[in-house]
Structure formats: structure tokens, C-alpha cells
A and B are shown apart, each in its own frame.
Chain A
């Protein structure tokens, strides 16, 4: 088989490679400077390289190289039992790992046909919206840092610590959370967790209003960001943009509204949209989304329904430890789940959630075994980062840095 692939690899590919070399030769101009932006440049906030062709300060062309932290998650997932794949997903977009975890859980639940109780769904909504806040908070404050305003970054970073404290109380981890289980949450929200969320809801609006005030009408910030790295709605759709970057161009596509999951239809919130699709619009859209997320958390927190925090699915959800020691059925289920000997039904599902950066999709094919036959991640970063070349061409180098941080490209999600 390996040789078969090599034969297919021959003529046509050589042609592609020759063409590419020719194109590169054409671009070699005596007056242009070649500049390596990355792979480990402090301003790229992650490991990706761009080879820029510069005419003075102006970027004429860029060739992006990615894959520096590729970890073959799709291949590893084909060998792991379903519950062991969750830790892989939180290493994709590590700024908002609960969204990835829960998106994956919901995909598997869709395959298994498990109904999740309302309380678990609301807890998920609270955690996912907290994750969205911490994601947008990082992106916008880093945008401030890249345009020369360091204060706001440190100021809101403290709030991220408080969000991570909530994660820690809910699941025990801070960054790579592995939060929740297939079938619901691993434990109910503790009184301390509820208290921390309540405190966060009281304190955070003031902090965020202050942060917004610092940048939104700031003359230097506006001069640096308005009209920088703009993309039209048509091009953005053609490039497969989703999430805040698409909404900044004026398209109101949000998975939470279009295909509601986990009871998002119960909440009142708005989808902020931009107009020109430039860096400033992306900043404003993310700012407003933080306010909307707060609104959702408040509603879910106030109306948190009574009931169980996990589904009644003994084949897939671990029994309480006390029962494992006392009841035979629980012991058998516990053993089978932990050893990964539970077979999933045959099927094929696609489920998408609104991640920090856009539509985060999971395409899962199960052949009836203990592991997925194929698990494909639709990573929004990977899909929209290819437009970066087009967005920075003709602009200046300093603007390219701002465009990159306003796109919020997360290297873990880009390379999976």
C-alpha cells in the first residue's frame, strides 16, 4: 500500500513543485527584502512562521508555514476509547478548553442518543460562557499590548485568574480542564463554586467597563486599528470564516442561535455584528460578546434548575464511588468504562458548537467499536488563518502584527 501511494505521488506532484519554485523565482526581486516573522516571534503569540517579502515597510507577499505543534490528535483519537479523547480536545483551543470538552461530549451524546437533564445543560452553558469570556478577554487585551497599552492586559488578567479559580473549583484543573463527562458533569456545582460565580458576576462588569473605556475611544488605538486588516463579508464567507471574525464583517452567523445546543434557546442575548471587518470591528464585536456572555451567565445562574447534574446512562457515565464498593452492577460498569470496553453504536454524526473563534465542529464516525473509526475536528483557526496573507498584503509590518492578534489565532487549534 505504501508503494501505491508513492506512485500516485509522482508526476503530478513534481509538476506542482516545479510550478511553485518558478513562482518563487518570479517573486525574487532585487528591491524586496525577505523577512522571517516567526516561528518564535514574541508578537505572534504562538509558533507560526510567515516569510514576508517587504518593499520597505510594506508587505508585498507572505508565505505562512504552520504545523510546528502538530500532535496528530485525529490519529491518536482513532485508538483511544471515547472518554479518553476529552483531554486531547482541551489542548486545541487552550484559551477556552471547556467549550472544546463539552462540544466533544455533546457529539458523543448525539451518537449515543443520551438525553441530558436541564441542570447539566445550564451548568454547561455557564462554564462555556465563562470560557468564552476568558478567550475574548485574552484576545482583546493582547491586542492592546501589541498596540502599546500594557496596563489593560495585566488588569484583566487578574479576572482570568478568577475564572480559572471557578474552573478549579468545578473540575480541579485550570488550563487544560477535562471538564465534564460524557453524559453530563462529573460533579454538581459546589456552594463554593456558586459563590465564586456570583462574586465574578458582581465584580467583572466594572473591570470590563473600565478596560473598554481605556481602548474604545482611545485616539492612538483607533489610529492603529481602524481600516487595518479588513476583509469583506463575501471574501470572509468564501474563506470559511466563522465566529467573531465573521460577525465583524456584518454576517450574523452564530451557531448558538442557528442550531441551538445545550438549551441556548432558553436565553435572551444578542449577536453583535460589525460593519467593515477590520481590526477595530473585531475588537468591538469581542467586547460586546463578553457583555452578552455575562448576560447569559446571569440568566443561567438565576434560573439554574433543580435536578440531576448527569444523565441516567449507566453504560457510559461512571457510577458514584460509594456504589462501586457496594453494588455488583456499579462495579461492572465502573470496570468496563475505565478499561474502555464499552462499545458505542454504529453511526455518523456532526455536531458543532460556537467556540471562542467560531464554529468548532466534530465529525465522528463510529463502526460500533470501543474507539471512533474517524474523528475529524473542524478547527475554526485552521480554516480562517489561510486568509491572513490576503489580509496583510499591501499593509505595513506593524499592522500585520495587530491583524494577527485580532484574528486570535491559537496555535494549538491551528495545528491540532
Chain B
């Protein structure tokens, strides 16, 4: 079977229902759609096991913060790749900022371990079932998740700081 964005999407909708595969679009040739946290693991497992698809490579995971989307502020992006068919797809899951809990993917992909730790470190996602969910790049005592949009970088024109060493 020739894998195209349309027939893979049709197959997934037939399997998981129209209410679970929503907002499908194609921004750059890679099919992107949204699902929910109840279905994400079953979906990725299905993509992994299916004989025709063989989507068995997790390229990357990235958190995104949309502070203006009420009730769905945090987004987790999973990008998968079927090396056999050279077919890529992108799955998004939105969760509210008060409850950023997602199931872990480490049971399917060992590589999700550090990716999820990074997402926890920078966005505060909690992955249930993760074997070792601690900060990875920042210090463990840090009390916030620095990639969230409410933490801006320092204003470069501020004048209240005496910092002769750096010549500002």
C-alpha cells in the first residue's frame, strides 16, 4: 500500500473514531493531527504494530506553550517516522496548564525517556509511569519551568544592574 497522508489518516480515523483524530492539516508535507491523552499511547502502539505502516521510529518530542488557549495551554508534539516507507507524521496532544499530565511513552520507545524528562524540565509536563522523572538540563532545585511563556528573558535595555565585568 502506498502511504499517503490521506489514506493513513483514513485508516486512523476508522480505527480510533472521528472524535479522537481531529484538526488534521498539512503544514509542510508532514501530516499533523490532534488527539487526546486517553488515546495517545494506544495510537502510537497501533502505528508501531500495524504491518502496513510500521511507524517504528520516534524522531522527536517537543512541548509548546500557548498561554492564550484557555483550557488547552500546553501542547506536546510527537513526531514519528516510518523508516520502511519514509513516511513522517506529527501528533499533538493538548492539556490544560493546571493538569499537565500525560501517559509515558517509555514502554514503547526507550528514547522517550530523556525527551520526556526534558519536557518536564522545561514545561512541567508530568508523565505517569515514567521511571525517573527528574530535571535533566536545569538544576534540580529550580522552582519553575523556564520555557513557559510567562517567564520572559531579561530586558536587554535595563539600567538598574551594575555589571562592569560584561561591559553593560
Contact = CB atoms under 8 A, between A and B. Distances in A.
A61 interface: no
B148 A5 contact: yes
B138 A16 contact: no
Contact of A359 (B59, B109, B122, B148): B59
A382 B111 CA distance: 10
Interface string A72-89: 101110110000000000
Interface string A303-343: 00000000000000000000000000000000000000000
A182 to B, nearest CB: 17
B97 interface: yes
B98 A8 contact: yes
Interface in A360-402: 361, 363, 365, 373-374, 376, 378, 382-383, 385-387
Contacts, number: 119
Interface string A44-78: 00000000000000000000001100101011101
A235 B57 CA distance: 11
Contact of A238 (B109, B132, B147): B109
A75 B99 contact: no
Nearest to B146: A75
B45 interface: no
B37 to A, nearest CB: 14
Nearest to B60: A378
Interface residues of A, number: 52
B111 A5 contact: no
Given A16-B134, A17-B134, A5 B83 contact: no
Interface string B99-123: 1110000000111011100100010
A13 B133 contact: yes
A240 B57 contact: yes
Interface stretch (A33-41, A193-201, A345-353): A345-353
Interface string A228-242: 000000010111100
Nearest to B123: A5
B97 A1 contact: yes
B111 A239 contact: yes
B60 A4 contact: no
Interface residues of B, number: 51
Contact of A350 (B30, B138, B148): B30
Contact of A383 (B114, B132, B145): B114
A66 B121 CA distance: 13
A2 B150 contact: yes
B91 to A, nearest CB: 13
Nearest to A259: B86
Contacts of B150: 1-2
B14 interface: no
Interface in B55-104: 56-60, 62, 64, 67, 77, 79, 83, 86, 88, 90, 97-101
Nearest to B152: A79
A218 interface: no
Contacts of A352: 59
A70 B117 CA distance: 15
Contacts of A7: 98
B79 A363 contact: yes
Nearest to B149: A78
A386 B113 contact: yes
Contacts of B143: 2, 6
B126 interface: yes
A19 B90 CA distance: 33
Contacts of A1: 67, 97, 148, 150
A31 interface: no
Given A238-B110, A361-B59, A374-B62, A347 B28 contact: yes
Nearest to B150: A1
Contacts of B113: 386
A361 B88 CA distance: 13
B24 interface: no
Contacts of A13: 126, 133
A25 interface: no
A75 to B, nearest CB: 6
A363 to B, nearest CB: 6
A238 B113 CA distance: 11
A229 to B, nearest CB: 17
A141 B28 CA distance: 40
A156 B126 CA distance: 47
B126 to A, nearest CB: 6
A183 B60 CA distance: 27
A365 B147 CA distance: 15
A43 B100 CA distance: 40
B32 interface: yes
Nearest to A16: B133
A78 B149 CA distance: 10
Contacts of A382: 114, 118
B97 A253 contact: no
B55 to A, nearest CB: 12
13 contacts: A4-B97, A16-B133, A17-B134, A70-B138, A75-B153, A240-B59, A240-B110, A258-B83, A348-B28, A350-B90, A383-B114, A386-B114, A415-B137
The 3 nearest A-B residue pairs measured at CB: A240-B111, A67-B137, A376-B62
